[in-house]
Amino acid sequence: MKKKENLRPIWINKKDPSIINIIDQRMLPHKFVVADLKNVDDVIFAIKEMMVRGAPLIGVTGAFGVYLSCINLEKTGIQDKDIILQCKKIKNSRPTAVNLFWAVDKVLNKILQEKTSSAKIKMALKETLKIVDFEIQSSKKIGLLGYDLIKKISKRKNNKTVNILTHCNAGFLATIEYGTATAPIYTALEKNIDIHVFVDETRPLNQGARLTCWELSQKKIKHTIITDNAGGHLMQHKIIDMVIVGTDRTTYTGDVANKIGTYLKALAAKDNNIPFYVALPSSTFDWNIKDGLKQIKIEKRDPNEVKFVQGLVDEKIKNVLICPKTTPGLNYAFDVTPQRLVTGFITERGICHANEKAIKNLFPEKA
């Protein structure tokens, strides 16, 4: 597949602004497919079926869903009760990523202040594009701040290769540009730091293998795919210098919900004195939840995602059964890493420890 320049995972169709285009991430890395979103049902399907995924991108997609809802309701006149119902449907598409609720409510609150249908449509688009820009600028800042951490390790190692472990995909495919966990890596590359990334395959949908490896290949960043259970071994043998992951929801006290398996990486990092950082924009903090383990709703997905593996066979993407057909499956999409295992958060406002006081010092308006 050819390198894709200046690519975003979501954009407005250049010929028809009533259509939103997305990269169908289910098809990567083997096929590059662009899909059309024309209405709320399309948006909900794209989020549920993980055509789009990653907390910031899910939020942006939800915001564009509000915009599309306004366009489709315009013919009969946009009634506030109808748009509120549509927003509720969008927010119910996936339960864990807090950016979805944040972004949809942000657009909804703005359009409810407008009187006419045309004004509501314009405001929906304006507010959505502000969210897009916020996520891009946040990722840039996360990249610069996280780069300082990588630079210190590089200096300590006399400019030898810095080995970073990441889990799942928290790159531009999960945001808009740069990514969260990958932003410091991309910035380090631009500043000529010698880096190498160990990429967890990230079962069951293999977002690390399919998406992070594809992104890193596009950027020509040295990387190696590993099994999900290899990280601890690499840490024991001092091969990993640091871990950077993203998050789908983080409490104001520092508990982190991220792709299933993140907790095990954090445990291994703690046991081997390896720094474990979580990169996130402020839109991924949940300012209403204190106890992540008890209060964050963890999505359970189709067991067949565990029982089958997708891959390229004879130039066709196919699903292959890997266990006895009658064996039941259990498929939790996320787990919660307690704040005690997190070295720190890399946010657009700065780096802080994983505790309520440090987080609210960065975001005093939330105190």
List residues with catalytic annotation. Answer: 248
- Cα–Cα distances in angstroms (integers) from residue 311 to residues 207, 317, 321, in the given order: 12, 5, 11
Write the single-letter amino acid at 168: C
Whether the CB-CB separation of 51 and 26 falls below 8 Å is answered with yes
Do 24 and 57 contact (CB within 8 A), yes or no? no
- For the chain, the distance separating the N- and C-terminal CA atoms, rounded to the nearest angstrom, is 48
Judge contact between 184 and 293, C-beta under 8 A. no
Which residues, other chains included, contact 322 with Cβ-Cβ below 8 Å and sequence gap of 6+? 307, 308, 309
Q: How far apart are the C-alpha atoms of 58 and 77, rounded to whole Å?
A: 27
How many angstroms separate the CA atoms of 165 and 172, rounded? 17
For residue 3 the two structure tokens come to 């390198």
Are residues 209 and 184 in contact, defined by beta-carbon separation less than 8 angstroms?
A: no
Candidates 339, 176, 332; CA nearest to 253 is 339
Q: Which helix (H) or strand (E) holds 265?
A: helix 262-271
Residues 6+ apart with CB under 8 A from 219: 186, 189
Pick from 97, 109, 12: nearest CA to 47: 97
Length of the chain in terms of residues written: 367
